[in-house]
Structure 1
Amino acid sequence: MAQIGGWNVDTLRRRAEQLRRVLAAEPGPEPIRLTRVRAELGNVWKSRIAARALDQCGLLVDDTESRTRQWIEHRTATLPPGFRDEVRDWLLALHEGTPRSKPRAEATLHAYYSRVHPPLIEWAHTRSHLREVTQADVTAILNRLTGHTRVGMFVALRSLFGFAKRHRLIFLDPTRRLRVGAPPPRALLPMTDRQIDAVTATAVTPLQRVVVALVAVYAARAITLRTIVLDDIDLPRRRIRIGGTVHQLTEFTHDVLEGWLTHRQQRWPGTPNRHLIVSADSVLATEPVPDYHLTWHLGLLGIDLEHIRGDRILQEAIAVDADPLHLTIAFGLSEKTAIGYSVLARNLMQRPIETTGRADDNGVM
């Protein structure tokens, strides 16, 4: 692990001492519980290397709850008694999935809960159970909202009450006959020269540059970047496969990729991880980097990958006279999404915009 991770002598000595502490605390022949490792070393970050070493030796038992389950238990514990169990079961079903539905992303759970929490607290003053909530109660909440906030609230409440009705926790679904219509189109404006300059000045490391370049040139999503493997890249032929679509590498993206791959090889020459994007932690295994390694880390630096991606698609739509078929082929967009970008492009082409700094054919901004 030290050889793969490129640890120096001090790092190796420190992590070996942490492993000795864990082994000394559990002298018996039984496998060591993960909660015990974390209790001995202080937190999840410090214990990850020791836990991984024990796991590779067959000496670790994971007795922890998932972080999402812990979050669900913590959040729902503060709800009024008449709503607590139903909301917890609903969130657990979203998290774990059902025979008819796939598990939802953690971000979806956070968004749904943040939307239903205020009305639940308000209803608790006059209602003692979820089954007592009426259609008039839901309508009163929705009538205070507009736009995407209104639609988002309705979607979350419909999910909650739909789950409760299917599991016979309520008698009637108060959202069943309600309609809020389609959400208004989101406003997306091209990036300004100042925003482009800020991203260019901030993305300076080889990893930051390759991530921003692939998003800015090929409109790749962060989740797609995480799944790209080395076999998807052909530098001699200047090709890259992103999400099943093969793209031709420009001079700009070729140089950025070559720089990152050179850095990757020099930093972690023995890693078994075949993914293009790796971190100091992921090089010790074979899994892709977690989502926060890209979106959250770059977000702290002020780099919004989704904004860069949307700007790239919008500029392409303007360049091809808002042709949705071209956008579908070029970026693998759904028909609905491609049409949405085409509508935005037509609206922008009808009025002048103050944006001139754009990536040229070589990806140079």
Structure 2
Amino acid sequence: MLQPLVLAQVGRSVAAATTPATRLILALAAVHAARVAQIGMLMLDDVDLGNRRLTIAGRVRPLDDLTLKLLLDWLEHRRNRWPSTANLHLLINNQTATKTSRASNHWISTSMRGQDATLERLRVDRQLEEALTHGPDPLHLAEVFGLDEKTAMRHADSARQLLEAAAEQKFREDRQ
């Protein structure tokens, strides 16, 4: 059964994200449940600031206030650091700014290495949180995050078990 991350675990990962790039990467995983490879594939054209939308792996997602702020911070940093780059990938670094290739998965995930809340755990935690908040419906999870059938069912089953355990705990407390 999948377990939600503890607030302290998330807090340590947030504290480890000390650059504009790592803060944006963290938000893309934790808020939008993007995989590391999906984050690396994002192009500047995937960002629609005027309409506050972001397209991740073909799925259009609304830009929340936090991600919008982090995205604007990153774009300003990117523009100041590499003003004449021809690289159209959203995330670039010193190695990719002079090319047109994407940043590596290794570079994207480096800042969260050694953390309990890795980018993958943050991504899964976001999906589990969606199932806990909106009900353990695998069809909803598949639609929102583009999950395959088995993954959506696993997340929904975990959410159902967590909700049932919480209800049982509340019932026991109410009886005492």
TM-score using structure 2 length: 0.90
User: How far apart in 2 are the matches of 1:282 and 1:237?
Assistant: 28
Q: Partner of 1:288: helix, strand, or coil?
A: coil
TM-fit CA distance, 1:289: 1.0
Query: Radius of gyration: which is bigger?
Result: 1
Q: Partner of 2:60: helix, strand, or coil?
A: strand
Q: Equivalent residues in 2 for 1:119-198 (5 A)?
A: 187-198=1-12
Check conservation: 2:13, 2:112, Cα contact below 8 A.
no
Q: Equivalent residues in 2 for 1:1-365 (5 A)?
A: 187-295=1-109, 297-300=110-113, 302=115, 303-352=117-166
Offset from partner CA, 1:21-68 (integer Å, 9 cap, x none): xxxxxxxxxxxxxxxxxxxxxxxxxxxxxxxxxxxxxxxxxxxxxxxx
User: How far apart in 2 are the matches of 1:247 and 1:300?
Assistant: 27
- Counterpart AA for 2:143: I
Higher RCO (CA 8 Å, separation ≥ 6 residues):
2
TM-fit CA distance, 1:206: 0.3
- Counterpart AA for 1:229: M
Check conservation: 2:16, 2:112, Cα contact below 8 A.
no
Offset from partner CA, 1:137-191 (integer Å, 9 cap, x none): xxxxxxxxxxxxxxxxxxxxxxxxxxxxxxxxxxxxxxxxxxxxxxxxxx32101
Check conservation: 2:42, 2:91, Cα contact below 8 A.
yes
User: How far apart in 2 are the matches of 1:279 and 1:200?
Assistant: 20
Q: How many pairs align? A: 166
- Counterpart AA for 2:22: Q
Change (3 A) 1:347 1:337: same
User: How far apart in 1 are the matches of 2:78 and 2:114?
Assistant: 22
Check conservation: 2:52, 2:62, Cα contact below 8 A.
yes
- Counterpart AA for 1:346: R
TM-fit CA distance, 1:301: 5.1
User: How far apart in 2 are the matches of 1:194 and 1:300?
Assistant: 16
Q: Partner of 1:284: helix, strand, or coil?
A: coil
Check conservation: 1:202, 1:301, Cα contact below 8 A.
no
Check conservation: 1:322, 1:345, Cα contact below 8 A.
yes
User: How far apart in 2 are the matches of 1:301 and 1:197?
Assistant: 14
User: How far apart in 1 are the matches of 2:75 and 2:120?
Assistant: 24
Q: Which runs of 5+ in 1 are unaligned?
A: 1-186, 354-365
Q: Partner of 1:240: helix, strand, or coil?
A: strand
User: How far apart in 2 are the matches of 1:251 and 1:300?
Assistant: 26
- Counterpart AA for 2:72: E
TM-fit CA distance, 1:299: 3.7
Q: Partner of 1:352: helix, strand, or coil?
A: helix
How well do the aligned residues superpose, as a CA RMSD in angstroms?
1.3
TM-score using structure 1 length: 0.44
Check conservation: 2:4, 2:125, Cα contact below 8 A.
yes
Q: Which runs of 5+ in 2 are unaligned?
A: 168-176
- Counterpart AA for 1:284: T
Change (3 A) 1:300 1:342: closer
